[in-house]
Structure 1
């Protein structure tokens, strides 16, 4: 917390508590990931829609690549305290705050993007309640392409996985991959390339788009598309900043957020296919077929992680999964 208070000066351009009659609002928006992701496209779309519809009254400045000094794990507190009024945050690293942030990281539960959205919607009310306790409001959630393992060499059996040092983005990934025989370590995205470059990592669990954006083809030769899951990033706004808007300005913000969310979910299939082709064009070997015994063993490892999540979530977790399965028939 002290660190965040010291960093408030980084985002001094943000105006958090203008009266409802204010005509001009300046917000900064943090994002740990690069400006080449679809989430960055969503941020730019939001910025444009809000500026146009407010007649320039709401001016948002976007900051990518953790340039404000915040990793995803820092951003919940940063928004809560007003160090930055808006943030686009990978949900998984917030699991220490509440297990709901691990929902989209449940291994091998959602196997399509329609299922991934249904899973998020099943837990949305819990997301909103937890965020309200941290002085912020959920604006939208958007999916990453399905996560899988970038590596040097094909991973086609459980023995191929044994002892491989792999980066994960949340606790559930760490549990599942360790169960699969790998040596998993949870790292923020900004720390991944330095660790790869020094040989501290052999492989990375992430999406194909994130790997392409980080030029992984220069460091890793294979993308093993195990369809681990489709994690989401969430965009939240500080409630004091929101209260400083007029009613009309708040409506503009919420309507723009809903449009961005629908757009990002609508393009994820096409974007994922395009990213597979980009990887192949860059010489990456994309592996999409795995032996049935390997798939079964990976699903069993995923169940260990899911059971760990259920033990933390309690009855609410079971209700969320039941609602998801009723919706999808899964």
Structure 2
């Protein structure tokens, strides 16, 4: 009887001492990529990693190709509980606060995905950005960056002089301002209109994605010129979750998701570095001219970009803080000088 009582007491003590098991959870996430795209396949790998590392305790229901709400509405859908997380990008939210430009696409800033990710994780970027996301009930979990984009054109784009009166499809926002200041004629249009617009001469070029992606969708059936390596735009896709949902996860589950996100960031950068190099070789063989801007020409673009940064920095305190943070880190990396 005595031993039975002692056994029960010991069992009770062990039960109290043991950490509570993390409860199973389902997360509804939307991405703008379709599952056949390389980035969509990488997103699927992220889902598989999370589910494997959690032993199935975290179930992710991934909605591809913006199948629940429009891409630009994903952030709000997560903040309002229609979804749990947003896997698109911060640049879609500049209408909420111009500061989102500087967590979405800095334009003319870092040269490589690794430098940009370094700012996020080791340059105080994540902490700075978190204040912005939290204002809207969201938590920034991490980035994945596929690398520099390339301009595609039916006419040469060998340097700033070729941008004079160059008509091209541009996404809305800061990019249009930068290129307009360099003498180009950016035209904001949906990408579905690009092929017809290039065929009919309404535009001479487009800004879509990296070289490999541009090749895969057939842009070089119409265009014989591109900038490579790219320099003007390197978007950051994010994983951002409803803050209440995120705060409700166990520390174990948070760490699993953060770790899987960092793997996704590395895999994405590595894959596209290889894919873009392969595309460059194939396109050169087919007669496409790849224009590698000189250091001086890249500096000209970066100077124009910084003028736009400074203008956007006046539009909100959060934008000013993020611009200052980027400038400080770019200076530390030797990409800009203290006087810039």
Confirm or deny a common fold (TM above 0.5): yes
Whole-angstrom CA distance in 1 between matches of 2:256 and 2:320: 37
- Return the offset for 1:148: 2.5
- Residue by residue, what CA displacement relative to the aligned partner does 1:158-216 show, whole Å, maximum 9, x if unpaired? 453233332333522111111122222445xxx30334324554322232233234332
* Aligned partner of 1:156 among 155, 158, 161: 158
- Residue by residue, what CA displacement relative to the aligned partner does 1:114-152 show, whole Å, maximum 9, x if unpaired? 333334443221221211222222222011321221111
1:166 match: secondary structure: strand
1:51 match: secondary structure: helix
Partner of 1:253: 257
Whole-angstrom CA distance in 1 between matches of 2:252 and 2:295: 55
Structure 1 or 2: larger strand share?
Answer: 1
Distance 1:256 1:116, change over 3 A: closer
Partner of 1:169: 171
- TM-score, L = length of structure 1: 0.78
Aligned runs of 1:198-209 on 2, under 5 Å? 198-199=197-198, 201-205=203-207, 206-209=209-212
Deviates more, 1:233-242 or 1:116-125: 116-125
The structure having more radius of gyration, on CA atoms, is 2
- Equivalences, count: 305
* Unpaired stretches in structure 1, ≥5 consecutive residues: 1-19
1:167 match: secondary structure: strand
1:140 match: secondary structure: strand
Whole-angstrom CA distance in 2 between matches of 1:325 and 1:273: 28
- Contact between 2:167 and 2:187, CA under 8 Å: does it hold in 1? yes
- Return the offset for 1:87: 2.2
Partner of 1:314: 320
* Unpaired stretches in structure 2, ≥5 consecutive residues: 1-20
Distance 1:193 1:209, change over 3 A: farther
Partner of 1:238: 242
Partner of 2:183: 181
2:314 match: secondary structure: helix
**Root-mean-square deviation (CA), in Å?**
3.0
- Return the offset for 1:304: 2.3
- Contact between 1:106 and 1:305, CA under 8 Å: does it hold in 2? no
Deviates more, 1:77-86 or 1:95-104: 95-104
Partner of 1:49: 49
1:26 match: secondary structure: strand
1:177 match: secondary structure: helix
Whole-angstrom CA distance in 1 between matches of 2:335 and 2:299: 20
